[in-house]
């Protein structure tokens, strides 16, 4: 069996949210894709800036990468998506998993948006189905549905690299939480087992790390490394043990401080709510729908 295609991968880190963004490309054709780009939001001022997306834009232009896709793994709860901003500058289509429609419907109700949001996924150019494949240059990309962290989470398996979003953390940290609306620790277990069934040398790129100030993030470990050392899901840990550990941990976690701002932007495909009569967009914060922890 021939070895899988090996994309070049560059990680970008947004330290305020602990978010990892990626550009991968085919070294032969120089076609590439951007995964989970961050639009910087400053909650203390209600300001939006573009330094993270500008860093990615400068990289792809300097490297000579033709961006074929801008990909979101799910609607994020901790940062705004910069996919529309980058798409306008690069002319690339945007994609996400088809179950984003379910997340739209869920959060439309939580925000009481009424007719202000059409929940059909038209805010993206492509809604990927489970098992769907597409090409980035000569790199085949396969879509795995990976629910558990959210209803709509997917993994992009690009040759020997997989972008596993917030399903896994670095092995020493384990896995991501499953207590957001629509999350489920049992589904998360099954999604992780599907990911860990990939070949052992598959590079898994995670969505978050939270290093100390001045330290670099850890963002990649192989399937084999996770199966050997991941504190939550290494080989030998049973589903029941994982679910008990994950649920107990989640019960102690505060909600992300940007969540109620971010979801109403990200269910719109990364666009702010339509401007009101004064030309400014306004965010809705539901009061009393979530418990303080």
What is the pLDDT, as a whole number, of residue 22?
98
In a domain, 272, yes or no: no
Q: Is 185 among the domain residues? A: yes
Output the pLDDT for position 29. 98
Q: Does residue 180 sit within a domain? A: yes
283 inside domain: no
Number of domains present in the structure of the chain: 1
Q: Would you state the pLDDT for residue 2?
A: 72
Query: What does DSSP assign to residue 207?
Result: S
Instruction: Tell me which residue of 186, 172, 193, 292 sits closest to 235, measured CA to CA.
Output: 193
Minimal CA–CA distance to 165: which of 178, 183, 153? 153
Tell me, yes or no, whether 287 lies in a domain.
no
pLDDT at 195: 98
CATH number at residue 137: 3.60.15.10
- Whether residue 247 contacts residue 282, with contact meaning beta carbons closer than 8 Å, is answered with no
Position 268 in a domain: no
Q: Count CA within 13 A, CB hemisphere, residue 123.
A: 26
**Rounded-to-integer distance, Cα 63 and Cα 67, Å:** 11
Q: What is the DSSP letter of 175?
A: B
What was the pLDDT predicted at 1?
A: 65
Tokens, residue 111? 């925000």
Give me the domain span that covers residue 124. 8-257
Residue 273 lies in a domain: no
pTM confidence score:
0.96
Tell me, yes or no, whether 68 lies in a domain. yes
Task: Encode pLDDT of 51-83 as tens digits.
Answer: 999 999 999 999 999 999 999 999 999 999 999
Residues in the chain with pLDDT < 70?
Answer: 1
């Amino acid at each position: 069996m021939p070895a899988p295609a090996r994309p070049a991968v560059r990680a970008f880190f947004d330290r305020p949210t602990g978010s990892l963004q990626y550009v991968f490309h085919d070294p032969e054709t120089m076609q590439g894709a951007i995964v989970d780009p961050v639009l910087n939001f400053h909650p203390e001022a209600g300001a939006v800036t573009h330094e993270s997306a500008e860093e990615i834009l400068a990289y792809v232009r300097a490297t000579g990468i033709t961006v074929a896709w801008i990909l979101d793994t799910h609607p994020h709860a901790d940062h705004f998506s910069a996919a529309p901003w980058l798409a306008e500058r690069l002319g690339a289509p945007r994609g996400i998993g088809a179950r984003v429609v379910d997340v739209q419907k869920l959060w439309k109700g939580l925000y009481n948006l009424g007719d202000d949001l059409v929940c059909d996924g038209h805010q993206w150019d492509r809604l990927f189905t489970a098992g769907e494949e597409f090409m980035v240059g000569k790199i085949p990309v396969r879509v795995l549905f990976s629910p558990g962290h959210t209803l709509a989470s997917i993994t992009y398996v690009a040759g020997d690299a997989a972008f596993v979003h917030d399903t896994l953390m670095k092995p020493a940290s384990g896995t991501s939480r499953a207590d957001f609306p629509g999350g489920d620790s049992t589904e998360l277990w099954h999604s992780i087992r599907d990911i860990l069934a990939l070949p052992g040398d598959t590079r898994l790129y995670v969505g978050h790390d939270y290093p100390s100030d001045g330290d670099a993030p850890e963002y990649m470990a192989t399937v084999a490394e996770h199966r050997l050392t991941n504190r939550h899901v290494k080989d030998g840990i049973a589903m029941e043990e994982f679910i008990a550990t994950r649920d107990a941990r989640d019960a102690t976690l505060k909600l992300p401080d940007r969540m109620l701002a971010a979801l109403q932007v990200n269910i719109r495909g990364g666009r702010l709510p339509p401007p009101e009569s004064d030309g400014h967009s306004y965010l809705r914060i539901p009061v009393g729908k979530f418990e303080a922890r």
